[in-house]
A and B are shown apart, each in its own frame.
Chain A
Amino acid sequence: MRVVNNYLIILVATAVLQLFMPWWVIVLVPFAVCLWRSRHPGKAYAASLAAVSTVWLTYATFIHNGTEGNMSNRIAELFSLPNGAVLLTIVSLLSGFVAGFAGLAGYYVRQLFVKEAVEPELEPLSGKF
């Protein structure tokens, strides 16, 4: 369930913060969230990738459809891609890919500071005492 929560936290935080902050929020947020509460490298990567891709894919699809692709199709052509839908897919995957590595980095940095048992619930804190 933790991975689902992480996914939701990253999703909501990046969706909202990007309204006010630059694009690199999609790196900062997964890193911070995974630093804070990630317990597994694969899951850190997956939650970050999925969350950020969801946000970008949803918003970009909304715009792409609402504008009938009248800008995205042209930009796709500029980048020698067949159409805006392909560009949409690549952009979303790219954002997720970068966010995934940010989440992974968050997890590995966390490992420098905390010792985690196989059963991670509440373990780190108790271990300190």
Chain B
Amino acid sequence: MKFVKAIASVLLVVGFLYALSRPWGPVPALGPFISPYTGFWQNGEIPLLSRINDPDFSLDSLREEVTIRFDDVGVPHIFAKNNYDLFYAQGYVTARDRLWQMDLQTRAAAGRLSEVLGARTVEMDRRSRRMGMGYGAEVNLKMAMSDPISREALLGYTAGINAYIEQLPGRSLPIEYKLLGYEPEAWTPLKCMYMLEQMTLTLAGGGDEIAMSNLLKSLGKETMGQVFPDYPMLMESPIIPAGTPWDFKPLPIPVPPVEVEPAELSFTNKNQKKTPFTEPIYEGLGSNNWAISAAKSATGYPILANDPHLELTLPSIWYQVQLHTPEINVYGVSLPGIPGVVIGFNKNVAWGVTNVAADVLDFYKIKFRDTSRAEYWYDNQWRKTRKREEIITVKGSDEPVREYVVYTHHGPVMYQENEGRSGPALAVRWIGHEPGNSFRTFYELNKARNYDDYRRALTYYVGPAQNFVYADNSKNIAMTVNGKFPLKWNEQGKYLLDGSEPGNDWQGWIPAAQNPHVKNPPRGFVSSANQSSTNPTYPYYINWRFAPSERAIRINERLAAMERATADSLRMLQNDNFSVMARTILPTLLNYLKTVPLTAPQKAAFQKLESWNLMNNPGEIAPTIFEEWIVAVSTAIWKDEFYSDSLAFRYPTRDRTMYLILNQPDIHWVNNVKTPQRETMTDIVQQSFKATLDSLVARHGPMSPTWQWATVKDTEILHLSRALKPFNSTPIKNGGGGSIVNATTHHHGPSWRMVVELGPEPRAYGLYPGGQSGNPSSTLYMNMLAKWEKGELNELIYLKTPDEQNPRLTTTWTLTKK
């Protein structure tokens, strides 16, 4: 009996030990997780106090002393004596605040999520591998390490991150590591390259040529030209103002191969919608930047503004930092994982970026000789492929997933023939595979003193192509549509390309000096909002479609009217909620409704729209109706011909849709071919109006304050995991929209807002919707959110010396060589 009791009780305890030491589904191993000594308790930050974390400490491999001063929003102001120490300290503090974010984003880029998340991310990882992210990161690393300046920065940054990881006790690991049950691994310079690849993927990793080719096959070349024109038909206000002279002798434009046979290019893909790299680009996602000349400003110097729009997450994609050495003194935002400042200003210059929707990703149809895929047909002969073994380790599985990705001279084969769909194998030619040293661009901008420095800095840049706005205290303003752009024949890559035809290859590059640019234009300002880079007079082909023009039109109208502007004028423009789309199309839509009888609720909605001031303000109901209605109208016009359950299709652009409504109301596309009767524009407008109201009533009840735009738009900032709800933002009530300068939507929006007044001393303002700390329990986790929601900015503290006094500075760290 004694024996039984002893055995039973010991077994019971062993059972407890086992159960508490292992994860159960999404629940981490509870023993270590709930212990107050090692678990989540240790991640609770004592408000204010905990940031004063041993202010003097010595670190391995630091060369000289570094001083870091923190301000009241948690921004580190780093003072170093050389570049290595500067980036070492940047790596150290960035890891202190954002370690898990850096880990997750580089894992996603490298296709290594499954190592820590298990089988559910294998398909995501496989796509990253097939996209050649690793190949791109490696060729970029080779280039960066062969340049002494970027090499030193990458090594310093890496050593700083690793110094932080090495001293980090297990109990202090970021909460996400504890929840997911893994530990950080050492940082490497390659991971910095993966971060750059990830940005290139986000900003230049899309394309819709599969959908376009399917449409080409069903509609023919002539119709495609009418429905998908290469320049907006209704309205545009290009980045480089019309009339800017092209002061260069262009290279000869390549000649397209004799005949592009549409029947050959079809590609059926049932899983199309789930394949992110070929998703139609979401219209209205983008960024704004502009600079006004000294003549337009109240300060007598230029003023520059930038707000890049991205998916909003917590922690934020950006991290503010000031970097100071005897050679550099720059303030701005960095991307955790990349040394230097990406958007910012120094004593003499300021710069910012918006995305260029250049077509720098093309798919090529590949014909293999046999199933070994060792050779493919190109230029009338068989060419050898290369293979790259990809091993995806999967948590909870003994066997890794192995795959040989086949590389042609175009690039990796992303889709194998008839794999889960019918159609040919497709290789991807992508700017992310092109060796470059984009870090050097940012480094040179960080220490730029004048316009020539700015132009020289841009020559290092490969991708993702950006519109670099510039202003300096010598009173210059400028804009360069910058990146390495392939030299293409007109419409090359609008549709799938035949990979066996040499005439379809990228034919070299547009010379960097011939990238569209403008300096001190007569209108007194430069601006960009992802719209067409130039009007059709520019000799080279960059893409057939850019972001819709509404934001650009509004910005340019307001800047043209601005006089004696201040930083606050530009801040208010960043928060402008005016709908150019509504101004353009709403009166016409309402006129159609005037000809038909309306029910009482429809009349009420009609009146709301008719009396609307066209502002997408948070408390308005009209934008809720309009934004949904315009989508319904577009769907009603196009869905019958431009949607298929089995094939990837896409709708024509918003500009094309509005052009049709205004100028071609009787065109055959309006009729719904799926119904026996013949629909007119009046039918379309009326039916979609009814459908919009029905849908709103179904979701929000009869028209009431629950229909307010901020409530329906429902902007919400999710934690990067997208799964840990308690780490999400508090609810956000603001205005804006996809076509609005204040481009806030459900999950996207201005990820950083900055306004810089140039002058003898710069004065700058900025913030992002989040906080410097990645720890959800920190008072600095989303401390900037409330001001961001209201459209306010923080003044940015730009220090000139390490011991300068400022009431907003809190703690000082002194780092010394061990």
Contact = CB atoms under 8 A, between A and B. Distances in A.
A56 interface: yes
Contacts of A64: 41, 44
Nearest to B10: A105
A74 B777 contact: yes
Contacts of A26: 35
Chain A at the B interface: mostly helix, strand, loop or mixed? helix
Interface stretch (A4-12, A17-25, A119-127): A17-25
Contacts of A18: 35, 37
Contacts of A75: 40, 726
Contact of A71 (B37, B777, B779): B777
B299 interface: no
Contacts of A27: 13, 16-17
A104 B13 CA distance: 9
B13 A111 contact: no
A67 B46 contact: yes
Interface string A9-53: 000000000110011101100010000000000000000000000
A124 to B, nearest CB: 15
Interface residues of B, number: 37
A23 B13 contact: no
A85 interface: no
B618 interface: no
B44 A67 contact: yes
B781 to A, nearest CB: 9
Nearest to B35: A23
Given A78-B725, A105-B10, A111-B6, A71 B31 contact: no
B2 A112 contact: yes
A95 B45 CA distance: 23
B32 interface: yes
Contact of B47 (A19, A31, A67, A91): A67
A77 to B, nearest CB: 4
A69 B511 CA distance: 58
A108 B11 CA distance: 12
Nearest to A74: B726
A25 to B, nearest CB: 9
Contacts of A63: 36, 41-42, 44
B6 A109 contact: yes
B314 to A, nearest CB: 12
A105 B12 contact: yes
A111 B38 contact: no
Contacts of A104: 9
Which among A27, A68, A72, A74 has the greatest number of chain B C-beta atoms within 10 A? Answer: A74
A108 B726 contact: no
A21 to B, nearest CB: 9
Interface string B1-23: 01101100110110011001100
A71 B16 CA distance: 26
Contacts of A102: 13, 16
B45 A24 contact: no
A23 B41 CA distance: 13
B117 to A, nearest CB: 17
B817 to A, nearest CB: 30
Contacts of A60: 36, 41
Contacts of A71: 40-41, 43-45, 175, 776-777
B315 to A, nearest CB: 15
A113 to B, nearest CB: 10
Which among B35, B45, B724 has the greatest number of chain A C-beta atoms within 10 A? Answer: B35
16 contacts: A23-B31, A23-B32, A23-B35, A27-B13, A63-B42, A66-B46, A69-B44, A70-B44, A71-B41, A71-B777, A74-B777, A75-B40, A101-B16, A102-B16, A105-B10, A112-B6
Interface of B: 2-3, 5-6, 9-10, 12-13, 16-17, 20-21, 31-32, 34-47, 175, 724-727, 776-779
